[in-house]
Structure 1
Amino acid sequence: MDLSMTDLERDIIREILNIGLARAADSFAVIAQERVLLEVPNIDLLMSEDIMRKVREYQSRHVAIQSDIRGDFNGTTLMFFSGQHIQRLSRVCLRMNAPEALEVNELQESLLLEISNIITGALVTQLANILKANIYGAPPTAPRGDIADMMQNLLPQQQLQPLIFSVITQFSDKDNMVELPLMLFFDRVTFAKILEIIRSYDFLGSQMSA
């Protein structure tokens, strides 16, 4: 099967994500007590070496939270919280004056896990509804050590050709925009399933008439 995307297919996938993330943004805004904007500016297909390099780059400057996608699809999400995010969310949600640092205590980690659970859960639910797939998100975890090295287990015999959705969350606070990267990985089989679903019927027409 041809795994290359047309511009229209890329736009369709981007719109699916926008719908799911819009719901997540509403829930997240209540937690953060701020106006929250989520955008999906890019959809990139990256080779395994490139993905590992990008994961390590993010991990060096963020605290990572991971959640696996299971069921009909096989994938993983990674959310990356900066020290500024942690400081701000600790103040707003925990009433805690915390430094802008990547070291978190148990309470802060639980908060990041819950936020990740809300955002990725909304996204997975929307993917399941639109693509008519039986999928669910596993409980999020805070991985220790080199995430990229751990993710080698997801790349058996180079079967995983990751589909990376570069999702940026922007917090609006006194004109200060803070990016919250979310990376979504699917293996080749799942990516092929998604493209087949999109190509198998008049996707845009059926969604507009729904």
Structure 2
Amino acid sequence: MNDYPELSAMHLDALREISNIGMGNAVTALAQLVNRRIDMKVPRAQFMPFEETIALVGGLEEEVACVSLRILGDVPGTVLFVFSGDSARRLVDLLMGMPPGTTVELDEIGQSAVKEIGNVLTGAFINALSQLTMLNMITTVPMFAMDMLGAVMADLMIASGRVEDHVLVIGTDLVHEGEMVINGHFFLLTDPGSIDKLFAALGLA
């Protein structure tokens, strides 16, 4: 299956189900970490050309925070959690128990906190995906960057090497007490051939 833009309704349903389960696990992990109730809006799963993801997130000059982890095992690739700079600052306020809007700039402690939350979210997502597919998926130590989206993505593509032209993108909004905390996107960038293994494990080869 190489004609990814022509994925069947069955494949798209499978991707959405993966998104729901993976994000559900991630939100549960985040709620436990901050010891507060976190609600999730229904994730938006898409399989799209990588170059189109830039506009989806907000453009090359959009300030973002990004946590990235390399995936080893049966489905090698890279998973990213990219969220807006404002989301990163709201996360720090939530984690530190401070009123929203308190954090203006991320110091070393703030960056470490955002990196840990991103690690928890991405780790929970990949663990859910691994359990669902019965594939061996091991994540490496997370990397954190906060910069303009264009710079972050350029560095990540250099570090990741060759990946599939199309990527799985999952957009989600996480809400606390009616106020949005995170507006972010998961990106699953797979090495060539890995996405076929993923679909095969789901019985969709």
**Offset from partner CA, 1:15-41 (integer Å, 9 cap, x none):** 122112212211212334233215322
- Residue in structure 2 matching 1:195, options 190, 195, 199: 199
- Residue in structure 2 matching 1:117, options 105, 116, 119: 119
**Structure 2 residue 135 is the aligned partner of structure 1 residue 133:** yes
C-alpha separation in 2, matches of 1:83 and 1:66? 16
Q: TM-score, normalised by structure 2?
A: 0.79
Unaligned ranges ≥5, structure 2: none
Q: Quick check: which has more Rg, 1 or 2?
A: 1
Indicate the structure with greater strand content: 2
Q: Which amino acid letter does the alignment assign opposite residue 200 of structure 2?
A: E
How far off its partner does 1:99 sit? 4.4
Aligned-CA RMSD value: 2.8
**Aligned equivalent of 1:88:** 90
**Offset from partner CA, 1:46-94 (integer Å, 9 cap, x none):** 1x43345656827723222212211111222222333433333323322
**Aligned equivalent of 2:152:** 147
Superposed counterparts of 1:47-126, under 5 Å: 48-51=50-53, 57=59, 60-95=62-97, 99=102, 101=104, 103-126=105-128
Unaligned ranges ≥5, structure 1: 202-210
C-alpha separation in 1, matches of 2:186 and 2:94? 21
C-alpha separation in 2, matches of 1:50 and 1:9? 20
Whether the aligned pair in 1 keeps the contact of 2:30 and 2:38 (CA below 8 Å) is no
Q: How many residues align?
A: 196
Question: Structure 1 residues 56 and 149 mapped into 2: Cα distance closer, same or farther (>3 Å)?
Answer: farther
**Aligned equivalent of 1:206:** none
Question: Structure 1 residues 58 and 15 mapped into 2: Cα distance closer, same or farther (>3 Å)?
Answer: farther
Whether the aligned pair in 1 keeps the contact of 2:29 and 2:124 (CA below 8 Å) is no
Q: TM-score, normalised by structure 1?
A: 0.78
Percent sequence identity over matched residues? 21
C-alpha separation in 1, matches of 2:38 and 2:157? 37
Question: Structure 1 residues 182 and 148 mapped into 2: Cα distance closer, same or farther (>3 Å)?
Answer: same
Q: Which amino acid letter does the alignment assign opposite residue 18 of structure 1?
A: N
Whether the aligned pair in 2 keeps the contact of 1:66 and 1:77 (CA below 8 Å) is yes
C-alpha separation in 2, matches of 1:29 and 1:133? 27
Q: Which amino acid letter does the alignment assign opposite residue 39 of structure 2?
A: V
